[in-house]
Amino acid sequence: MMRAISITTDKEIEACFAVMSQLRPHLPESEFVSRVRAQMAEGYRLAAIVEEDGYPAVAGYRIGLNLAWGRYLYVDDLVTDQARRSGGCGKALLHWLFEEARREGCAQVHLDSGLQRKDAHRFYLREGMAISSHHFSIRLPEA
């Protein structure tokens, strides 16, 4: 049975980089721990599936409260090592996140997924999630 753990130490955070960089290739390894720590100061948490050879799946998430959803768990990052996809690691971690949401008193779990990530969309739908909105964004010019 796959086991998920909360990631808390710098060494554990460093060990997540190889997998997380597959989702966030723009992020330099030299900044990874400090960026995660800065986000953790604002409520970000990391979790991973742990196996003898490392962390084949990693998730970054936060607990929030808003008028639209009440108390919710938002998944910022969810990625399984490309070589390990379709082996159950992502499913185990997603379901751990669902349980974490329940433990935290959340009524909902939310995430955004890039339009190009068709395989991820099929996975989320298969695991009971629904496409519930469109996400809009704009890059602001520098002042």
Q: Whole-prediction pTM value?
A: 0.93
Low-confidence ranges of the chain (pLDDT < 70): 1
In this prediction, residue 94 carries a pLDDT of 96
42 and 63 Cβ atoms separated by less than 8 Å: no
- SS3 for 28? coil
Report CA dihedral (81, 87, 92, 95) to the nearest 10 degrees: 100
In this prediction, residue 53 carries a pLDDT of 85
